Structure 1
């Protein structure tokens, strides 16, 4: 009977430790909820952005972000990698619902978005530029967008950088995606489309006779890998994979394959990471 109280105290202490480990934010829970080391991962990519993510026959996807997503997932330990189409509007919802595990979809890292998801990377730092119809010389810099019709893709922050960030007043014409924006540009419904140069380059390459990039970059677009909020282990695994991707020359090869013929000045060094938090 002399050992009863010490034993009871020991059991209570063990129970308390188990309760702490079960609480959100504790290391044991964080590790078990992480996508790091999972055998199967689903990567969310765009389906209508040539050069970055484009849906093909039979549910296949092609593009720079598709290849980067596959590389990262494989180096995180996944033997099976699937892809699912996402849009700028539904990226966070599909992550939260567990329908996708990673998102690589011209997903610029911003303070507001970082409250909703955890960002790995960036895996590339693009520069916001402007695309116009070939032969239209009225727009040479971002200031020339004043008074023009600029397309606003749903869920994108690129137009905010022009209007709110730089104070350039344009007439916004809404569209559901950048593919729809390009259609509006081609048919004369808008005067310009402005977003990251990698996005623009893919579309310009397909419509070389009709569209051109102004080549007057004015901001940076840090394309990050979206993960469910709080997955620090997954974020660190993503950053490790991105570092290896650049150090082995894989990133540079992929950039050349998809954008080498566009005339863009491509960056081949490892981007400065945001840090996982």
Structure 2
């Protein structure tokens, strides 16, 4: 029998070590999550670089259930207008960004959830009593965010004569509201409550208290990602049943005296 040369044996051993990662698994790709960076209480990048908010807590819980450690979860900024594109082009694995489920969006992406129910409302300056219902906006200036459905809801259903200003972010809308450039800003009450309760904003703004629409938040995933969708639904159901959902809600909205809805039944894509 011919005995292999020592060099050949060494090469085989080296090749085997490379293939097995020297006895360990190959490095795991991080879980990339799209969130908002400018929504206090929902998704916020703080000045020290950390992330806070209900969507952040939900995303971290999902990541844990999917087998990711905290340092294996990467948050990327998304805007209302580009959430579908980032999923379609694999820039993120999932989106947790106050992402309301609707049929138009379902044409482009799939959703897990829902995991939260919000209602569209109006935020006005604290001393302004001229806006008490949606129809009052017919003679007012309204701010919303580009790509959001909120301004369309107001124009189509309540105040077709409202003057509307669309800006890239909610923070910019808030600046416009404080500076009297607009009379109200509109989006989900959860987001508005976060801004009203933000340190430095106390006493400056108030929610009108209208339920102009029902907004069921879902976790966006790429179209056809059925396995990931199913796993996220399982994680969301566990988060609710185990009490972590309630803890996250109170942690992020408690100081705003926000009357949140009970956790919705996780049904989408399950």
Q: Which of 30, 38, 43 in structure 2 is aligned with 1:40?
A: 30
- Give the whole-Å Cα distance in 1 for the aligned partners of 2:182 and 2:192: 15
The Cα offsets for residues 118-171 of structure 1, whole Å up to 9 and x where unpaired, read as 111111010111100011001111122222110121111111111124454311
1:259 is paired with a residue whose SS is helix
- Give the whole-Å Cα distance in 2 for the aligned partners of 1:135 and 1:89: 32
Give the structure-2-normalised TM-score.
Answer: 0.84
User: 1:81: which partner in 2?
Assistant: 73
User: 2:4: which partner in 1?
Assistant: none
User: 1:208: which partner in 2?
Assistant: 202
1:112 is paired with a residue whose SS is helix
User: 1:172: which partner in 2?
Assistant: 164
Give the structure-1-normalised TM-score.
Answer: 0.82
- Give the whole-Å Cα distance in 2 for the aligned partners of 1:108 and 1:177: 17
User: 2:184: which partner in 1?
Assistant: 192
1:257 is paired with a residue whose SS is helix
User: 1:255: which partner in 2?
Assistant: 249
Count of residue correspondences: 239
- Asked if structure 2 preserves the Cα contact closer than 8 Å seen for 1:46 and 1:85, the reply is yes
Q: Which of 211, 235, 253 in structure 2 is aligned with 1:241?
A: 235
- Give the whole-Å Cα distance in 2 for the aligned partners of 1:181 and 1:45: 19
- Asked if structure 2 preserves the Cα contact closer than 8 Å seen for 1:52 and 1:62, the reply is yes
User: 1:62: which partner in 2?
Assistant: 52
Q: Would the alpha carbon gap of residues 57 and 183 (structure 1) be closer, same or farther in structure 2, given more than 3 Å must change?
A: closer
1:275 is paired with a residue whose SS is coil
1:261 is paired with a residue whose SS is helix
Unmatched segments (≥5 aa) in structure 1: 1-37
